[in-house]
Structure 1
C-alpha cells in the first residue's frame, strides 16, 4: 500500500453498515484506498429505524485522530456526524494543526432521515470559521435550508461559497430531482445531471457520495471531475440492489468532466 493512499473518515458507527464509518471504508476500498476511521458516535439503528445516538467524548475523538497521525500520512479527511458545531470546530482546528495542507470534506448531517436532530442551530457564529477550514461541503437540499433558516437557498449558497466549495446533492430537489450542483472557486457553477432515469433509494447514500468525493480528491482529480465521478459512483450504488442496503462497485465508475 502506497503511503499516500491512506484516507480518514471521522463519523459515526452504524450497525447496519449502510452509513457512517463502515460505509465510508467500503467506499474507500472500492477506490483502492486504505480507509482509516475515527468514531464520533455509536448509533442504535438499522437500515430503516433510528433509535438512539451515544456521542463519543470530544477528548476521545481527538486522541483517536492524534494517534492515527502519529503513524500515517493523511492528506484528505471526510467528516460525517459529529455532536455539535463546537466539536466540529475543535476537530477541524486539530486536523489543520496536524497537517496545514489537509483537505477536509464535510457532510453536514443536521438531521438523520429518521428525524433525529444532530445539531443545534443556535450557534451560527462559528459557521464561517468552519466553512473556511473545509475544502468542500456536501449538503442536500433539506440540510442547506437548515444551515441559515432566515436566508433563501440562493443566498445561503452565495454566502458559503465565499469560504468553501459546495457539492449540493439533488436527491431532495423538487424541481429537478437528482440534479446535483457544484459551486466552486467562489464563482463557478457546474450542473451534474443524472445518468439514469430512476434510482432506488438507499440508506446512507449521502455518506457514500461524500466518501467517494473525498476518495477522488485524494486520487488527484480536480474538483469538477471528482464531483462528477462521485455522483455517478453513487448512482451505481443506488441501483446496485433492490433493497435499502447497496453494494459497492470495484473499480469505481469514472467519467471525465
Structure 2
C-alpha cells in the first residue's frame, strides 16, 4: 500500500505526560505532515517537572515492536531517543542497518532527564564511534557532547564527534552560544541563530527539535534546511504557552 505521507519512526521512552519521548515525537511528525510511528524503549512515570520511575525494555522487546514497522512500512528516516546503554544501541543500529541499509538514523542522545535522573553514564569510546559511523545525525546539547567526547570545550567536543557523523550541537544549555545551534557537517560549521531571545522553557524541547529534523529530512529537505526549519518550528512550540508542557496545535 502506498501512503501519501512520508513515514518516520521514533524509538524512545514513553512519557505519560506527552511532553517528551515517543508521544511528543509523533505529535511533531504529524505537524510536519508525516505518518508517525512509535516504539517504546522504556516506560517512565513522570510529569513535566518530576521523574518518578523508569523501566527499561530489553533489546528483544524493542525489536519485536520495531521489526514489523521497518519491514512493512519501510520508513526512510528513524529517530532514536533514550536507550538503556550503548550495547543495546549498538545491537539496534546493527539490526536496523542490516534490515534497511539506506535508513537515515537521527540520534538524540538523552543521557539524563530534565528532572535530573541519569540514564547512560558509562561510555565505551570504541563502541560509541562504531555507532556514530552508522547514523546520519547526532543532536547533543552541551553536556551530552562533553560526556560523549570526554572533552570540556563544547565546540571541540562536537567537532570530534563529527568525525563520524553529522552533529547538531544544541545551544539551549550553552554558556557561550546560548540559543545558537551549530551544525558540524563535512568539515563545515553552520550557525543557526535563534530568532528571538528569552524563549520559555519546555519539557521535551530536545525531542521536539530532533523529531522535527527527522520529519523534514523525510520530506526531502537537505540537512541544513531541515535543521533550520526544525529550529524555527521548535521556537514556535516554545512560545505556545508559558507552561512546561507544550501545545503542538
Count of residues in Structure 1 that have an aligned counterpart in Structure 2: 248
Counterpart secondary structure, 2:190 = strand
Q: Is 1:239 aligned to 2:236, yes or no?
A: no
Kindly indicate whether the alpha-carbon contact (under 8 Å) linking 2:90 and 2:131 is maintained by their aligned counterparts in 1: yes
* Alignment-derived partner of residue 149 in structure 2: 148
Query: How many Å separate the matches in 2 of 1:41 and 1:247?
Result: 24
Counterpart secondary structure, 1:25 = helix
Matches within 5 A, 1:28-43: 28-43=29-44
Matches within 5 A, 1:1-257: 2=3, 5-150=6-151, 152-185=153-186, 187-249=187-249
Counterpart secondary structure, 1:113 = coil
Query: How many Å separate the matches in 1 of 2:10 and 2:27?
Result: 11
* Alignment-derived partner of residue 252 in structure 1: none
Kindly indicate whether the alpha-carbon contact (under 8 Å) linking 2:149 and 2:160 is maintained by their aligned counterparts in 1: no
Kindly indicate whether the alpha-carbon contact (under 8 Å) linking 2:149 and 2:161 is maintained by their aligned counterparts in 1: no
Consecutive unaligned residues of structure 2, counting only runs of 5 or more, are none
The CA RMSD over aligned residues, in Å, is 1.4
Mean Cα deviation higher: 77-86 or 59-68: 59-68
Kindly indicate whether the alpha-carbon contact (under 8 Å) linking 1:4 and 1:73 is maintained by their aligned counterparts in 2: no
1:194 to partner: Cα distance:
0.6
After superposing on structure 2, the runs of 4+ consecutive aligned residues of structure 1 that deviate more than 3 Å are: none
Check 1:4–1:89 CA distance in 2 against 1; reply closer, same or farther (3 A cut).
farther
1:2 to partner: Cα distance:
2.2
Kindly indicate whether the alpha-carbon contact (under 8 Å) linking 1:3 and 1:73 is maintained by their aligned counterparts in 2: no
1:151 to partner: Cα distance:
5.3
TM-score by length of 1: 0.93
Counterpart secondary structure, 2:212 = helix
Query: How many Å separate the matches in 1 of 2:152 and 2:179?
Result: 23
TM-score by length of 2: 0.96
Counterpart secondary structure, 1:174 = coil
Query: How many Å separate the matches in 2 of 1:144 and 1:70?
Result: 33
1:154 to partner: Cα distance:
3.4
Query: How many Å separate the matches in 1 of 2:66 and 2:212?
Result: 21
Query: How many Å separate the matches in 2 of 1:155 and 1:182?
Result: 13
1:138 to partner: Cα distance:
0.5
